Amino acid sequence: MKLKYLFLFVVIALWGCDEGQKSEPIRTGIYFDLVELLDQQAELLAKEKPSFTKMLTVNGETETISIELDSASQWKAQLALFYQADINKLGLETAYVTEEFPLGENQKKIIDEAKGQKATVRLIEYNYLNEQLTNIRILSRENNTVYEFDKELNLNFSFDAGMNRISSFSIIGNQDMLLKSDLSYSLKAVIGN
């Protein structure tokens, strides 16, 4: 029962509260369009209806659940932290440096890295093989005098039948809060056929 309360706490902490209707932020299109990619993937997954299993570990306690998701909005909810890492927002046009690195035969890496220390999203790394996206890795940090949150998000893709599709994702994080115990968590999700 204690694990279920921990699970509930982490879910609420990770995905936040619904604050009603919000206007869409103005998007610049300067950097890789992560939101468009996630929207396309959510639509694709809603059509395919693959199996979906999540394993959540909080301070060493683990719980695994399998969920059936029927709509794009449900998939978007599962990918909410990836949506929050969008750096194509008004005001961030010059906040990141984009570099491309060839890694060998048919492999490359593109990195958007924050110029300053105040940016929540510190780095987004896009890995390609044969011009197909294989992985997106995001590092983020939020901190002030009361708390510090560090997260690493990974979104993995498989290429099958001429389409790139999310095959798994993970979120690993640490929360250090004043007057509260530290919290370490990891969420690993596998998307089947």
- 123, 102 contact by CB (below 8 A): no
DSSP 118: S
Q: How far apart are CA 165 and CA 155, in angstroms?
A: 10
Specify whether the CB–CB gap between 97 and 112 falls below 8 A: yes
Token representation of residue 142: 């939020």
Strand partners, 171: 153, 187
Running DSSP on this structure, what letter comes out for residue 106? Answer: T
**pLDDT (tens digit per residue) in 143-190:** 887 888 999 999 999 988 778 999 999 999 998 877 778 889 999 999
Torsion of CA 80, 86, 90, 92, to 10 degrees: 140
User: Over its length of 193 residues, how does the chain's per-residue pLDDT go in tens digits?
Assistant: 455 545 544 554 454 444 444 546 677 789 999 999 999 999 999 999 999 999 999 988 999 999 999 999 999 999 999 999 999 998 888 999 999 999 888 999 999 999 988 899 999 999 999 999 999 999 999 888 788 899 999 999 998 877 899 999 999 999 887 777 888 999 999 998 7
Cα–Cα distance, 160 to 140 (Å, whole number): 30
Looking at residue 91, its pLDDT comes to 86
Whole-number pLDDT of residue 16: 46
